[in-house]
Amino acid sequence: MVDARGLLCPMPLVMVRKELEGSNPDTLEVLVDDAGARENVTRFAESRGYKVACTEDNGDYRLVLSK
Amino acid sequence: MKKINWLVVATGGLVGLAAVVLTLLGNPANMGFCIACFLRDIAGATGMHGAAVVQYFRPEIVGLVVGAFIMAVATKEFRAKAGSAPAVRFVMGAFVMIGALAFLGCPLRMVLRMAGGDLNAWVALLGFAGGIAIGVVCLNKGFSLKRAYDAAPAEGAVLPVVLTGLFLLFLIVPSLFKFSEKGPGSMHAPVLVALLIAIVVGALAQKARLCMAGGLRDAIMFKDFKLLFGFVAIFLVALVGNLILGKFKLGFAGQPVAHSDHLWSILGMALVGWGSVLLGGCPLRQLILAGSGNGDSAVTVFGMIVGAAFAHNFGLAGAAASADAAGGVGIKGRIAVVIGLVVMAAIAYFNIPKKSKEA
């Protein structure tokens, strides 16, 4: 689980990349609260072969990355 | 991640076109937009510095912030946030401004100068890219100014409201402000046209997340060229515009509002690139973020305005070359740029987690 709320790009991307490259997980949950971060994390994860499901809750975005 | 994002490219193209049109309408050459120069002019217009040739209340700044604000509200992306190291950001904003004014332009004007054939700006690009690369190393080591938190909507509206208020004052009681009678500050497009063009550019820049530092940063860090295409689009459209209008002049000498003090252009823009990466965006992006509700970016912009005042009150800014003088960055400006680089190093050091430093 990566909680990148309150952070602007590229910080959320840096955190997600670290997780993906560190343990190569099958699924990863990412919390962001910025639309730009949501777009960038989605694009980055998709480029690494993950599918991304996004739900919005009160301005926060919960992204579930899965292979 | 190599797909072209056409919104970014179109926005970049529009910025390039708008810049050429604004120079045609009266802005100084290769200065359709220059966030650093325009904030410096605003600092001059409000009497924060006394450099008589760079004083004007630039409507473009107001327009960019208000345009971003309108777009953010319209697309429900406006969200008031603050609390991510505001004092540090203020100081960084001030030094980014000092670096930009040593070179004589923010990253956006650097691109516009490149598109005007100003080879001095191509040299400065080396410094800018080097500064970004140093910033990327800091990010990879875990640099962070920590998270921001949700704030009351009023916090997010500060910069749009302050600038709109000052702009109305400028229209209603212009005698309160100082205006250059000669020099770059005296050259400007008609007020309302400049405002409207900047509102459109600000709105699109918000949507496209356009950032001059972000392009190179993402290309280096993630092999993601999305934002870099925006940078290239600005250059190409401004280049074509300049060629059509006969304003393209290739060379080092005789360039408008520029000097050939290369080492200090490189170091000044390295300071801008490094600072912009640590701040999360170039001066243009800080304006757009502040319009989207980010109070920390508003503080950064205030820091840039104060930095501009210091740059001129202390004689730190670069002097443009003229027929009589070579111009360049004086000894005080050089010292200030070096101090700026030391300050960035210290900020980076203290905001990289200890564990990562030992690794």
As for the ipTM of the complex, it is 0.94
Residue among B2, B209, B282, B285 with most chain A CBs within 10 A, to mutate: B209
Instruction: Report chain A residues whose CB lies below 8 A from the CB of B150.
Output: 33, 59
d(CA B144, CA B139): 7
Cross-chain CB nearest to A10 (options B139, B149, B289): B139
CA angle B170, B176, B178 (to 5 degrees): 85
- Say what the pLDDT of residue B267 is: 98
**Any domain includes B100:** yes
- Say what the pLDDT of residue B111 is: 98
Active site (annotated) includes residue A9: yes
Nearest CA in chain A to B144: A11
Interchain contact, B139 vs A8, CB within 8 Å: no
pLDDT means per 10 residues, chain B with 359 residues, are: 83 98 98 98 98 98 98 96 98 98 98 98 98 98 96 97 98 98 97 98 97 96 94 98 98 97 98 98 98 98 98 98 95 98 98 76
Q: Nearest CA to CA, how far is B264 from chain A (Å)? A: 29
Cross-chain CB nearest to A7 (options B75, B147, B150): B147
**Any domain includes B315:** yes
What is the pTM (predicted TM-score) of this model? 0.97
Instruction: Report chain A residues whose CB lies below 8 A from the CB of B226.
Output: 43
Nearest CA in chain B to A16: B222
Domains of chain A (ranges plus CATH)? 2-66 (3.30.110.40)
**Which range marks the domain in which residue B152 is found?**
6-350
**Any domain includes B359:** no
**Any domain includes B26:** yes
**Any domain includes B1:** no
Predicted confidence pLDDT, tens digits, chain A (67 residues) = 999 999 998 999 999 999 999 888 999 999 999 989 999 999 999 999 999 999 998 889 999 999 8
Q: CA nearest B197: which of B74, B324, B15?
A: B15
**Any domain includes B358:** no
**Any domain includes B346:** yes
Query: Within an 8 Å CB–CB cutoff, is residue B144 touching chain A?
Result: yes
d(CA B54, CA B58): 11
Structurally, chain B folds into a number of domains equal to 1
**CB neighbour list of residue B207: distance below 8 Å, 6 or more residues apart:** B7, B11, B71, B75
Interchain contact, B77 vs A35, CB within 8 Å: yes
Query: Within an 8 Å CB–CB cutoff, is residue B79 touching chain A?
Result: yes
- Say what the pLDDT of residue B121 is: 98
Torsion of the alpha carbons at B283, B287, B290 and B294, rounded to the nearest 10: -30
**Any domain includes B254:** yes
